[in-house]
């Protein structure tokens, strides 16, 4: 049943192999077309899978069941503990299949225009396929170890895509940074998996998240440093998720990842890499809520802090892609926070549903924002806001679609962002007032910085002189923009709670206009301030920044997180640990080996003169030796 | 003749053997060294025959061994002389202390 979902995952991998091996011999366009056609098939199949899962196969009464179309044992450790490879379909994985294939397809099409004439066009498409494959494999993983394998594949493919312009030192540095930071967090993830599986004796999600598995998690009473081992395991697993999802303090790789081609940024930010952490927490959610509720509280606060932090930083950045990067961090943190404030059950689990809903809508409007930004960069050949302004005349389609995305992320109805963000705010309001006000303030900041971005690109200095007149992007770039804009307008109306919930049971939600009007109000205020400051070229923004100079500078430098990391790694770890270790290696370990060789050498030099080459000397020695041995034998 | 004691044979063979050892260690000329080597071998052959006669009178094992040793030494001498001739062709003499290239 539904075993054709294997094709969805396998096809991008085959495309990767094919394009990677023989792509270099083809014309670039042909290679791109082959990759795109492969992904179109995947996309169509995942739509079919979603349709049949949600409306016929998966739904029994009011509950969605988990389907495992295929599963085979790969590595067997004990009867219970074995690593399998397979496919598991449940509401969130099917939803993710749709999101990933859709966004990836849009990126594939868009890249025809954006990457035209680039060196390594075929390699680019091969890597895009690999990226899609690893993320698809991650979401359908039926056990945590398969998830980990694909998790690392996501890391590798993002590494090679961020460093796509490998002749540029900054891109190489950014790709290394992304890989090392996420890999560092993944170390904790692996330890967490091992601890969890050691105690629970299984890797399978179905066993872990079933009521029996959760009861088991509650029954473990072992503690370590005052915390139960389940909490430790879940905390370590969350650290892995925080690394990929760019939560504090692992967010530093994400802004630098902007060095990659813009469509890749869209893919990383909207559908693949960064949502992996959210997906992980959602996947393990029952274990969190029953086994480790204290960790869930920590997750809530980390999420809320990150959301606020990233929103503040986003207000000060001038590189348009960096603004979007920080907005991604902020929105991902929203999802994490929503998971943190969620309970278990139908309406109790509102936060969970809202988080998945926001993931869904965010994927489309964030992809739209990045692709729109790509179109702007394509037109003016710069990332800096200062070299833009008044572009609405030149880029009408980009302008309209970008505006739709901005309205959506700001939370203005009827665009999709409003619905999901509103659900998150409601969930937070019911659970934790502090977190609610924090998120609420973030919503205002989001509206402000998105419209700051919008006005500074498309309005502002209307008489800006460009070296050559900016032109609208080609059709291969505008069609994905229009398609995504259309999606952004409509996906908010999907009754998401009827598809995704914590216990997979259908429930109904309705918009609570009391909180909804509050969130619309703050969004409108944010937009109004941005309009006042940036719509026309004026000095009001300079005045405001002068008023809060110290804070502004700190925010502009991202609150010095990069510097702190550099200080910790370079000064403390390097000087305090690596240098002594290197000294020990060089002087003690190597020293012992060198001593041995020196002694051998010295002794050989001393006795080599015995090897004289004079045969009669040897005969003498032989004789004397024989005499000595015989006398010993005879007389003793 | 038949009343010569075993010690007589052994004294002769010992003198021959150490004469061979002395020649082997002190001579420079390879041909002389070869001759000393033959002396040592022949001393051993005398021992074989003498012991055979006195210890196992009815058997011939020791005598056969002596015959073998004579045969082997003849073959070995042929090879040794061939080597010596080759050395002579290379360094134009046959002094053993000049053949000392194989060293450290």
Query: Is residue B102 classed as helix, strand or coil in its secondary structure?
Result: coil
DSSP states along A32-49? HHHHHHHHHHHHHHHHHH
Write out the E strands in A322-473.
Answer: none
Q: Are strands A59-60 and A82-89 parallel, antiparallel or unpaired?
A: unpaired
pLDDT in tens, A393-448: 788 888 888 889 888 888 888 888 888 888 888 888 888 788 888 888 888 888 88
pLDDT in tens, A432-447: 788 888 888 888 888 8
CB contact under 8 A, A612 and B97: no
In chain A, which residues have their Cβ closer than 8 Å to the Cβ of B96? 614-616
**Are A191 and A238 contacting, i.e. CB atoms less than 8 angstroms apart?**
no
Output Rg (C-alpha) for chain B, integer angstroms: 17
d(CA A268, CA A281): 18
Least Cα separation, residue A602 to chain B (angstroms): 15
d(CA B87, CA B95): 9
d(CA A558, CA A329): 12
Torsion angle, alpha carbons of B35, B40, B45, B47, to 10? 150
pLDDT in tens, A159-188: 888 888 888 888 888 888 888 888 889 999
Q: Which domains does chain B have, with CATH numbers?
A: 6-91 (1.10.287.3510)
ipTM of the complex: 0.85
CB contact under 8 A, A613 and B25: no
**Are A129 and A27 contacting, i.e. CB atoms less than 8 angstroms apart?**
no
**Residue in chain A lying closest to B26 (CA):** A616
Query: Least CB-CB distance to A614: which of B21, B24, B97?
Result: B97
Q: Are strands A223-224 and A227-228 parallel, antiparallel or unpaired?
A: antiparallel
With 0-12 CB in 10 A as exposed, 13-18 as middle and 19+ as buried, what is A78?
A: exposed
The answer, yes or no, to whether residue A634 has pLDDT greater than 70, is yes
Whether the CA torsion A159, A162, A165, A166 is positive or negative: it is negative
Q: What is the mean pLDDT of residues A22-40?
A: 86
Q: What is the mean pLDDT of residues A41-54?
A: 89
**Are A33 and A144 contacting, i.e. CB atoms less than 8 angstroms apart?**
no
The answer, yes or no, to whether residue A59 has pLDDT greater than 80, is no
Q: Which of A101-110, A131-140, A403-412, A509-518 has the lowest mean pLDDT?
A: A509-518
pLDDT value of residue A44: 92
Q: Which DSSP symbol is given to A65?
A: P
Mutate to test the interface with A, among B97, B98, B101 (most CBs of A within 10 A): B97
Beta carbons within 8 Å of A250's beta carbon, 6+ residues apart = A181, A182, A184, A185, A239, A242, A243
Which residue bears the tokens 């503040």?
A312
The total of other beta-carbon atoms located within 10 Å of residue A26's CB is 16
In chain B, which residues have their Cβ closer than 8 Å to the Cβ of A623? 21, 25
Least Cα separation, residue B31 to chain A (angstroms): 14
Helix (H) or strand (E) holding A67: strand A67-76
Looking at the complex, does the CB of residue A607 fall below 8 Å from at least one CB of chain B? no
Query: Least CB-CB distance to B103: which of A611, A616, A623?
Result: A611
Whether the CA torsion A371, A376, A378, A383 is positive or negative: it is negative
Which residue bears the tokens 């299984």?
A202
Query: Least CB-CB distance to B25: which of A609, A611, A620?
Result: A620
Beta carbons within 8 Å of A132's beta carbon, 6+ residues apart = A12, A39, A42, A100, A101, A104, A267, A272
CB contact under 8 A, B25 and A609: no
d(CA A82, CA A68): 16
d(CA B45, CA A296): 99
pLDDT in tens, A187-244: 999 999 888 888 877 788 887 777 766 666 666 767 777 778 888 888 899 998 888 8
What's the farthest any 2 CA atoms get from each other in chain A? Answer: 117
CB contact under 8 A, B99 and A611: no
Whether the CA torsion A128, A491, A508, A513 is positive or negative: it is positive
pLDDT value of residue A631: 94
In chain A, which residues have their Cβ closer than 8 Å to the Cβ of B98? none
């Amino acid at each position: 049943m539904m075993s054709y979902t294997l094709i969805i995952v396998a096809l991008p991998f085959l495309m990767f192999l094919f394009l990677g091996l023989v792509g270099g011999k083809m014309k670039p366009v042909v290679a791109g077309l082959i990759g795109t056609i492969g992904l179109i098939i995947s996309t169509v199949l995942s739509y079919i899978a979603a349709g049949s899962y949600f409306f016929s196969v998966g739904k029994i009464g009011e509950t969605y069941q988990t389907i495992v179309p295929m599963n085979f044992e790969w590595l067997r450790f004990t009867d219970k503990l074995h690593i399998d490879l397979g496919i598991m379909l449940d509401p969130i994985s099917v939803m993710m299949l749709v999101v990933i294939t859709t966004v990836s397809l849009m990126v594939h099409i868009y890249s025809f225009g954006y990457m035209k004439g680039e060196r390594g066009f075929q390699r680019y498409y091969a890597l895009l396929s690999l990226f899609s494959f690893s993320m698809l494999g991650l979401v359908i993983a039926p056990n945590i170890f398969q998830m980990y394998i694909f998790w690392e594949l996501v890391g590798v493919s993002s590494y090679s895509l961020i460093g796509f312009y490998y002749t540029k030192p900054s891109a190489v540095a950014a790709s290394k940074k992304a890989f090392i930071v996420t890999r560092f967090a993944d170390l904790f993830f692996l330890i967490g998996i091992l601890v969890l599986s050691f105690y629970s004796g299984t890797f399978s999600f179905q066993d872990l998240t079933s009521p029996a598995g959760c009861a088991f998690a509650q029954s473990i009473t072992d503690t370590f440093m005052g915390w139960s081992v389940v909490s430790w395991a879940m905390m370590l697993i969350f650290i892995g998720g925080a690394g990929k999802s760019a939560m504090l303090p692992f967010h530093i790789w994400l802004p630098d990842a902007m060095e990659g081609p813009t469509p890749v940024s869209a893919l990383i930010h909207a559908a693949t890499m960064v949502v992996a952490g959210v997906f992980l927490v959602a996947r393990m959610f029952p274990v969190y809520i029953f086994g480790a509720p204290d960790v869930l509280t920590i997750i809530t606060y980390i999420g809320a802090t990150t959301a606020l932090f990233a929103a503040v930083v986003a207000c000060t950045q001038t590189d348009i892609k960096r603004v979007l990067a920080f907005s991604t961090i902020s929105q991902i943190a929203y999802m994490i926070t929503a998971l943190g404030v969620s309970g278990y059950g139908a309406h109790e689990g509102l936060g969970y549903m809202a988080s998945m809903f926001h993931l869904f809508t965010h994927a489309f409007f964030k992809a739209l924002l990045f692709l729109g930004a790509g179109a702007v960069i394509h037109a003016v050949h710069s990332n800096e806001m200062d070299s833009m302004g008044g572009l609405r005349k030149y880029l009408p389609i980009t302008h309209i679609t970008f505006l739709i995305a901005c309205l959506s992320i700001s939370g203005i109805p009827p665009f999709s962002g409003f619905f999901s963000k509103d659900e998150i705010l409601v969930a937070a309001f019911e659970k934790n007032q502090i977190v609610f006000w924090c998120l609420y303030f973030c919503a205002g900041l989001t509206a402000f910085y998105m419209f700051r971005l919008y006005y500074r690109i498309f309005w502002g200095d209307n008489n800006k002189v460009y070296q050559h007149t900016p032109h609208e992007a080609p059709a291969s770039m505008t069609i994905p923009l229009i398609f995504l804009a259309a999606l952004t307008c409509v996906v908010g109306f999907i009754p998401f709670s009827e598809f995704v919930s914590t216990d997979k049971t259908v429930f109904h939600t309705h918009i609570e206009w009391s909180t909804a009007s509050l969130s619309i109000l703050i969004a409108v205020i944010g937009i109004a301030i941005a309009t006042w400051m940036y719509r026309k070229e004026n000095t009001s923004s300079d005045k405001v920044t002068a008023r809060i100079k110290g804070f502004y500078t700190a925010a502009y430098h991202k609150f010095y997180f990069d510097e702190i990391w550099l200080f910790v790694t370079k000064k403390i770890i390097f000087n305090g640990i690596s240098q002594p270790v290197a000294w020990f290696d060089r002087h003690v370990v190597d020293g012992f080996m060198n001593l041995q060789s020196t002694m051998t050498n010295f002794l050989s030099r001393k006795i080599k003169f015995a090897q004289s080459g004079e045969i009669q000397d040897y005969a003498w020695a032989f004789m004397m030796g024989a005499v000595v041995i015989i006398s010993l034998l005879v007389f003793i | 003749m038949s009343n010569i004691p075993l010690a007589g044979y052994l004294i002769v063979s010992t003198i021959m053997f150490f004469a061979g050892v002395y020649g082997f260690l002190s001579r420079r000329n390879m041909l002389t060294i070869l001759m000393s080597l033959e002396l040592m071998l022949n001393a051993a052959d005398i021992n074989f025959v003498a012991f055979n006669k006195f210890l196992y009178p009815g058997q011939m094992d020791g005598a056969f061994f002596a015959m073998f040793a004579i045969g082997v030494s003849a073959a070995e001498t042929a090879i040794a002389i061939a080597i010596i001739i080759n050395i002579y062709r290379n360094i134009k003499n046959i002094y053993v202390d000049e053949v000392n290239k194989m060293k450290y």
